[in-house]
Every structure is written in structure tokens, then in C-alpha cells.
Homo-oligomer: A and B are copies of this chain.
Amino acid sequence: MPRTSDKRERLIRSADQLILRRGFRQTTLSDIAEDSGVPLGNVYYYFKTKEEIGRAIISGRTEAMKSLLAECSQAEDPKSRLLQFLDYPVKVRRELANNGCPLGTLSYELSHLNSKLCDSAKDLINIVLEWSTHQFELLGRADARQLGLQFVSNLQGMSLIANALKDPGVVDEMVERTRAWIASL
């Protein structure tokens, strides 16, 4: 029966993992079809174009990040929220070293594409940037915007380097330094 089919979800899940590992351009619809167990021709019933799959992946990663930020926002004070957020990169350090940041890699790749997806690159980064900037504002910092930029820059920088060196330890070291920086404010 149509309504009980989970094919769409399986397609998105496969696409998300494959794109994380190999990038959007490098991931073919054939790869996604095979990995999800959905015949190639049937993929087009759920997504009219590959770009539409891209939008679904962007949307999924955006929502996942919003969800994480919402969790962190429940901490009592802004500093605790920022520090709690830093637990996440440590938790997924392996994935960061293997594939890079799910937001950063996609942002970098999409910004090079001649596609409407290109505009989404900005949004991907802005999610965390605006949240962290807001936390610094709540701390009464006049330079909240720059502190926010520094915070996200640390996260993106450590992910890219950990990925290049294939070394999860880089994440631990850099998060530790970022923690100390936040605590010192």
C-alpha cells in the first residue's frame, strides 16, 4: 500500500549518508537507489530531480541543527548553552574527522555550484551563527557578532582540519581551547 511505504524516508536517509561521505556532486542517483534498496526508476516518483533531493538533505540537516540548538537553549545561562553545544562536536568527532562538518562541507560545495541550491549555503551557516551571536548578546557583549563569528569559525576550522588530517583528536583539542575561551569571557 502507498501510505505505508517508507521508501521516501529510506531514500533521504541513504542520500544524506552518501552525500556526507562523498559530497553531493559525487553521489549519483544510482548510488542512492542501490543503498536504499529502491529501484532507480522509482526514485523519480519521490523526487522529480536530483536538486530536489539536495533540498531535502539541506532541510533535514537544518532541522537537526535547530533541534540541537533548541536543546542547548534550555540551559540556564548563555555560557552554559555555548558550552553545552560544544559537547556535540566531541560526541561526533569520528564522523567529523571522516567526513567533515555536515553543514560546512555542504556549504562549501554548494557555494561552488551553478544551482539554486547555492543560496542555501548561506542559510546553513547562519543557523549556528545567529544562535551563538544571540548568546553573546545575552552576555551583554557589544562585540557579540564578532564573538559569534569566532565561535562558528572555530567549529568550522576544527572540522576542516580534523578531516584533512583524518584525526579526531584535533576536535578534542580545539573544543577544549574553545571551552576555555568561553569560560574566560
Query: A: which residues have CB within 8 A of B?
Result: 21-23, 25-26, 99-100, 104-105, 107-109, 111-114, 121-122, 124-126, 129, 146, 149-150, 152-158, 160-161, 163-166, 170, 173-174, 177
Contacts and interface: CB of A to CB of B under 8 A. Distances in A.
A166 B22 CA distance: 24
A22 B113 CA distance: 6
A39 to B, nearest CB: 24
A90 to B, nearest CB: 15
| Among A25, A153, A154, A173: residue with most chain B CB under 10 A | A153
A170 B149 contact: yes
B165 A161 contact: no
A112 B26 contact: yes
A80 B160 CA distance: 26
B129 A161 contact: yes
A170 B126 CA distance: 13
A26 B121 CA distance: 17
Nearest to A20: B112
Which 9 interchain pairs have the tightest Cβ spacing? A153-B157, A157-B157, A125-B164, A23-B112, A156-B157, A107-B164, A156-B160, A25-B25, A121-B164
Contacts of A152: 157, 161
Contacts of A160: 104, 107-108, 125, 153, 156-157, 160
B112 A22 contact: yes
Nearest to A129: B161
A105 B105 contact: no
